[in-house]
Structure 1
Amino acid sequence: MSETASAAEPQPDSVLQLADRLFQVGRGEAPVESLVAAVEHDGALPFWEASVAAGRVSAAVQSEVWETLSRDAIEQRNREERRALTEKIADARLHHGESEVREALVARSEYLARIGDVEQAVRSYEAALRATVGAGQRIDIYLAQIRLGLAMQDYRLVRRAMSLAREHIERGGDWERRNRFRVYEAVFVMTARRDLSGAADRLLDSLATFTATELMPLSRFIFYTVVCSLATKERPLLRDRVAKAPEVLQVILQYPPLATCLRGFVNCAYLDISRSLPGVLMLVRRDRLLHMHERYIAREIRVAAYAQYLVAYKSVTLASMAAAFGVGAEFLDEELSRFIAAERLHAKIDRVAGVIQTTRSDTRSARYHQIIRDGDALLNRIQKLSRVIDV
């Protein structure tokens, strides 16, 4: 495979699609028959068995799948496919050149990844790497390993492949692969580290150049971009880089609650934020990569909305703010108290007067005092050192 060919429009990765289908079946959003058909079509028996062993499949779904899955036929077909690929590699080594050997090794690796055989796929990819010289082609192999790790929730594999891919990209990866890798990084920090701010930065930087369609479709990319931005970015950025972005405008209406929530932040329509948030969280709950962070995302979006509202006031009544968000004063008092105690909001509540007073953190003064303290500590160390030298 040439460098030019590898840079063509990537096709959706089937093992990621299979992981999504398994998640949907587990939630009751897709019929079990569709999962059985996908496993049989791809020969993905190793994927299914690994998912069962990892506890990602309920007992009810397991029972129904095992009753209808043509296990023997899949195993026979996989044995024949493995044998054919092995013979192709041997033939390439005997009768052809290094390029053909590499292509045969990559083909075997892609097949093993497609069926979800992680251990054998990683070994095959390592063999392909040893036969690969071009930096771009090596990066493609590492990206394929990252996709396999994300599908199988093997974050150790993801971290290792991502570290190696980053090394090659920093040494001279091409523009297109750099952009794709930035999206991979965003997905990793979003899922494994729950760093929504870091994910939003990378996703926004990739907004106009998104080409990682082998990882996710554009609509899903926009969904992640908007959700991560809502939870972590301030109104001016949301307005200028998210709400006005042509790529977002092209897709956002596919997610009506998300569109309403974004519009609420931009227009300071806090009642719209409150009313649309349950719908946004429903979308998050239905996403395989984000569902485990649902409560965290809910909290971060609420904090962001409260902070945006309060920044415009020196003081405001609890009743007024409660009315703006469409919630009860008691509920708002309790929630704001938690966020204030956790130092997520700079405010204090006078419950007797029913007033919220905002407190501005004087960052300039804090930096000044920190410099003074650091300077005093440095002078003390210099004085101690001078006494030692004099002695």
Structure 2
Amino acid sequence: MGDPQFNKYPDLSLSQHIFHITNPASSKGTKQASLTVLQDAIKENNMAPLYRHLAHPSEGIMNLSGEGTTAHPMGGLRRTSSAAATLLATRRPSLEYPLAWDESLHDSLDQENKKELEAIQKEEDEATEKAGETEILAARGKRAEFWTKVGDKDKAVAAFEEVFEKTSILGTKIDIVLAIIRIGLFFGDKLLVKKNIERAGTLVESGGDWDRRNRLKAYQGLHLLTIRAHAAAAPLLLDSLSTFTSYELCNYSSLVIYAVLAGSVSLKRVDFKAKVFDAPEIKAILGDTDDRMAALSGTLSSGASTGDEDMTDGTSQSATPAPAAVNLTTLGQSHGGHQDDEAEIDFKPLAVLVNSLYRGRYQSYFSALASVEGQFLNQDRYLYEHRHWFVREMRLRGYQQLLQSYRVVSLTSMAKDFGVSVDYLDRDLSHFIAADRVPCTIDRVNEVIETNRPDDKNKQYNDVVKQGDQLITKLQKYGQSVRLRGSERG
């Protein structure tokens, strides 16, 4: 079906820089560097619509404080834009390094946009007069790419939809939908992304080639991660590690981070060992020197050990067989073979978290979790929104893993294992117990935790009784409302 099209824009790394500028957890150096990158990109690509969307004194989402300027005074506080909540880190950002508004700069960028649009329109008119439908569609595709490049979301989506309706080539249709998905990801429009993920899936199932099918898997995994569906995202992201080509979506290092985090919080122990802890692609990144060499040589195998219980999960089955070795020569390369400028990432906190969770080293597990929160969850626009939920679920996973091995455990010894105080453990664990997430009770008099192991028959019996009570209550309310007896109808 040909090489992928329309995959140059939007530049999703630019949305990460916008996030950094408005992120309270980002360092001053990071904010300043991101602001410089954003300003350079706006000037280089003549991004007048995005510049106005971000920085305009009265309309820009990065200027929500109501200050305005002398030329554009504001008549009071505006309602917080929903767009600000999706593209920025916070609804009302307090900017240490604001994106300054320059009317003359915007006007010059706008003039350049008009010139480029006139050239595209001229090309389309010439194609209409002298060439065929293919050349006309190519010109319309350039217009869609232009609006995507300058950051006008609505016009870009509308232009791509127009090209989609006119083309009959399945590969081009899939590429257009993937481009719309990236536009949605750039602006944080989850509804637009969800709609087009389903649309792309339908197109791929109707006859899409292997490359586009494989690229869509990464898109689906990333979308599921943004809506907190980690159990569904994990197998897709982990499968994408060995065949990743969607460098327009994210770099390989980011994919490793997303896959490891999603797998750690959602996979059962056997699947976690096979697909995360022992996976050669992940060993090649997170492992020590010996593990990396073993991954390269193909001596690492990905499978369950004999010491693990048989706990299979239907949602975590891989659709792509795990290779014997990972090809590290593809790391940092775009689909066209161009090198990406990836910043060096310290994966040590992530490696410690994975090892501590699997090996039951809970004291280092909690400290590694705190490091992962600071280094990854707080610094990534896709992970930031769900950082508190992720940390809470990982704490719960540690508690569950330790308690399932004991009938009774000392509260003091468990607190010591996790490196926390007894009072903190009591408070934290009590929330999970009240929510029926941990089957145990805390006896503060004797300073012990007693685990309850309800068997399946008792659980089924209790569920039937509970549902029966609810049904009886609903029938009683229904009977009172319809007044079945004839004497009460009047």
Give the TM-score band, short-chain normalised: 0.7 to 0.9
Pair 1:195–1:98, CA change in 2 (3 A): same
Provide the rounded CA distance (Å) in 2 between the counterparts of 1:68 and 1:305: 54
Name which of 384, 388, 393 aligns with 1:300.
Answer: 393
- Structure 1 residue 284: deviation in Å? 0.6
Does 1:280 pair with 2:372? yes
Provide the rounded CA distance (Å) in 2 between the counterparts of 1:271 and 1:12: 45
Counterpart in 2 of 1:16? 12
Counterpart in 1 of 2:2? 4
Letter in 2 for 1:23: F
Counterpart in 1 of 2:136? 101
Provide the rounded CA distance (Å) in 2 between the counterparts of 1:80 and 1:268: 63
Does 1:182 pair with 2:274? no
* 8 A Cα contact 1:347 1:358, kept in partner: yes
- Structure 1 residue 343: deviation in Å? 1.1
The alignment-based identity, stated in percent, is: 31
Pair 1:143–1:104, CA change in 2 (3 A): same
Letter in 2 for 1:79: K
* 8 A Cα contact 2:21 2:97, kept in partner: no
* 8 A Cα contact 2:52 2:106, kept in partner: no
Equivalent residue runs for 1:369-380 within 5 Å? none
Pair 1:64–1:107, CA change in 2 (3 A): closer
Counterpart in 1 of 2:166? 131
Counterpart in 2 of 1:111? 146
Provide the rounded CA distance (Å) in 2 between the counterparts of 1:79 and 1:294: 42
Provide the rounded CA distance (Å) in 2 between the counterparts of 1:64 and 1:216: 25
Does 1:209 pair with 2:243? yes
Name which of 108, 119, 140 aligns with 1:73.
Answer: 108
SS in 1 for 2:450: strand
Pair 1:157–1:230, CA change in 2 (3 A): same
Does 1:44 pair with 2:42? no
* 8 A Cα contact 1:318 1:329, kept in partner: yes
SS in 1 for 2:449: strand
Name which of 197, 203, 207 aligns with 1:162.
Answer: 197
SS in 1 for 2:122: helix
Counterpart in 2 of 1:218? 252
Counterpart in 1 of 2:270? 236
Counterpart in 1 of 2:157? 122
- Structure 1 residue 171: deviation in Å? 2.0
- Structure 1 residue 334: deviation in Å? 1.0
Normalised by the length of structure 1, the TM-score is: 0.87
For structure 1, list consecutive stretches of 5 or more residues without a partner in the other structure: 378-391
Cα RMSD between the aligned structures?
Answer: 2.6
Letter in 2 for 1:83: E
Provide the rounded CA distance (Å) in 2 between the counterparts of 1:33 and 1:258: 29
Counterpart in 2 of 1:315? 408
Pair 1:373–1:14, CA change in 2 (3 A): closer
* 8 A Cα contact 2:180 2:196, kept in partner: yes
Provide the rounded CA distance (Å) in 1 between the counterparts of 2:204 and 2:50: 30
Greater Cα shift, 270-279 or 32-41 = 32-41
Counterpart in 2 of 1:199? 233
Normalised by the length of structure 2, the TM-score is: 0.70
Counterpart in 1 of 2:353? 261
Counterpart in 2 of 1:289? 382
Counterpart in 1 of 2:338? none
Greater Cα shift, 107-116 or 52-61 = 52-61
Greater Cα shift, 176-185 or 279-288 = 176-185
Greater Cα shift, 86-95 or 36-45 = 86-95
Provide the rounded CA distance (Å) in 1 between the counterparts of 2:347 and 2:424: 28
Pair 1:169–1:269, CA change in 2 (3 A): same
Provide the rounded CA distance (Å) in 1 between the counterparts of 2:39 and 2:395: 40
Pair 1:126–1:327, CA change in 2 (3 A): same
- Structure 1 residue 183: deviation in Å? 1.6
